[in-house]
Amino acid sequence: MHFTLQPGGNLKGEARVPGDKSISHRAIMLGALAEGTSRVNGFLEGEDALATLAAFRAMGVQIEGPVDGCVTVHGVGLHGLRAPDQPLDLGNAGTGMRLLCGLLAGQPFDTELTGDASLCSRPMGRVIEPLTRMGARIESAAGGRPPLAIRGGQRLRGIHYDLPMASAQVKSCCLLAGLYSEGETSVTEPAPTRDHTERMLRGFGYPVQSVNGEISLQGGGSLVACDIEVPADISSATFFLVGASIAPGSDLLLSHVGINPTRIGVINILQLMGADISLQNQREVGGEPVADIRVRYAPLHGVEIPADQVPLAIDEFPALFIAAACAQGRTVLHGAEELRVKESDRIAAMAAGLTTLGVRNTVLDDGIVIEGGPMGAGTIHTYNDHRIAMSFAIAALRAEGEITVRDCGHVATSFPGFDVLARRLGLRISAVAD
């Protein structure tokens, strides 16, 4: 599937984007490990979260749905999973694989984890390392890549782990293994990362301490089923936050968006660039802060992206690079080397597409420099990365000619129905089967 986009237009109206991907993965995992039945509303029916759901079904967990975002998970307790008959295929989902590594390391049975070509090229050494120190036995393909074989029946010990990179997936993996470990498991991170695992564990009645940047829990407890309300994903809302900010005449209201402080770097950075974004009706739903976000067109200017915002906006940089291309002046990003190991090398993939559209940019090892200016037309390659596809789709709002975005099938991993919703709001997009 590819997108074709006619240039111009703006974004108007109201919308609720699909549920948060990070929270949807965790809702299935913790619901499955809890005692009792958990109901999840607003679940993301995207391929990534569905792959996690299928993995737990394959381990004997009864799960009903999803139907209109509702999922009922009949938890089996921390020690109730069964050995799957086949390798668990996590598709494109790094979160699914890395978090599962942590909890599978503590099971009495062996498992194999695999995924698509993108996932099988992503580094897993970052979770194998701390898990091995905890006593896990994990074999990987060359270079710490999937597929992974996790040997069950190991006795895990709690450790303290000082994360070498700001990664919520590695942090969460250690904490989930900690549920099965003797004594205390604790982590410190070089910068705060999304804290959905900690919040949701507490929601399931499992004590987690966060003191002076150290997050810790004791093994050997249990989770009590609870109901979960998944907010709309700020990472999906981002495409419309940027789209409305760059297209004159735009005025959008995005409802029920998760605004967890560890996720709002995109709002902070856009506001620094001059965007007109306001948060309305702020409230807390199921332990996560939520708001309706109003965004109207405003002229943007280039900025030096503050280092402390980088981990808080890590998934939003592809779209932010489009904002930078439409801003007056230069935008500079450093400290974002993690972008090179996402679903694609997002620095290289975005730089290539921006160059195709005539936007001057300089690639850095850990970031990019983008000079704002006119955007032309052309054919963009996504490297099968959903966020690259959606970023260049919204770029059409300010392009001078038609944009074709090739290989857009992976958009369904995080944002099923993106083209339909974007068209309703005003993007001149068509999805074409190849």
Q: Which of 24, 52, 169, 238 binds ligand S3P (CB under 6 A)?
A: 169
Q: Please, which residue, 248 or 261, has the CB nearer to ligand S3P?
A: 261
Distance of CA 150 to the CA centre of its chain: 24
Binding to ligand S3P by CB under 6 A, coded x per residue (else -) over 16-55, reads ------x---------------------------------
Kindly give the pairing relationship between strand 228-229 and strand 62-67: unpaired
CA dihedral 336, 341, 342, 343 (to 10 degrees): 150
Interhelix angle 196-203/21-33, rounded to 10 degrees, is 40
List the one residue out of 177, 113, 173 whose CA is nearest residue 148: 113
Contact yes or no for 170/126 (Cβ under 8 A): yes
CA distance 163 to 290: 28
Cα 154-159-161 angle, rounded to 5 deg: 120
The token pair that represents 95 in the structure block: 């979160």
Determine the interface stretch with ligand S3P among 112-120, 165-173, 178-186, 259-267 (rule: CB under 6 A): 165-173
Determine the interface stretch with ligand S3P among 35-43, 72-80, 163-171, 397-405 (rule: CB under 6 A): 163-171
Query: Please, what is the minimum distance in Å from the beta carbon of residue 169 to ligand S3P?
Result: 3
Conformational region of residue 331, where left means phi above 0, alpha means psi within -120 to 50, and beta covers everything else? beta
Does 172 bind ligand S3P (CB under 6 A)? Our answer is yes
Contact yes or no for 352/385 (Cβ under 8 A): no
Q: Please, which residue, 22 or 260, has the CB nearer to ligand S3P?
A: 22
Determine the interface stretch with ligand S3P among 164-172, 273-281, 364-372, 415-423 (rule: CB under 6 A): 164-172
CA distance readout (Å), 432 to 57, 86, 406, 409: 33, 34, 10, 10
Q: Which of 10, 52, 111, 167 binds ligand S3P (CB under 6 A)?
A: 167
Does 95 bind ligand S3P (CB under 6 A)? Our answer is yes
CA distance 404 to 125: 36
Query: Please, what is the minimum distance in Å from the beta carbon of residue 227 to ligand S3P?
Result: 21
Determine the interface stretch with ligand S3P among 71-79, 161-169, 224-232, 421-429 (rule: CB under 6 A): 161-169
Q: Which of 28, 50, 78, 168 binds ligand S3P (CB under 6 A)?
A: 168
At residue 390, the 3 state secondary structure works out as: helix
Does 410 bind ligand S3P (CB under 6 A)? Our answer is no
Q: Which of 129, 338, 366, 371 binds ligand S3P (CB under 6 A)?
A: 338
Q: Which of 177, 314, 380, 427 binds ligand S3P (CB under 6 A)?
A: 314
- Going 115 to 119 to 121 to 125, the CA torsion angle's sign is negative
Contact yes or no for 215/2 (Cβ under 8 A): no
Q: Which of 315, 385, 407, 419 is catalytic?
A: 315
List the interface residues with ligand S3P, window 178-197 (CB under 6 A): 194
Query: Please, what is the minimum distance in Å from the beta carbon of residue 249 to ligand S3P?
Result: 32
- Is 292 catalytic? The answer is no
Determine the interface stretch with ligand S3P among 10-18, 167-175, 203-211, 397-405 (rule: CB under 6 A): 167-175
Q: Which of 189, 195, 233, 315 binds ligand S3P (CB under 6 A)?
A: 315
- Contact positions vs ligand S3P (CB under 6 A): 22, 95, 167-169, 172, 194, 314-315, 338
Q: What are the residue numbers of the active site?
A: 315
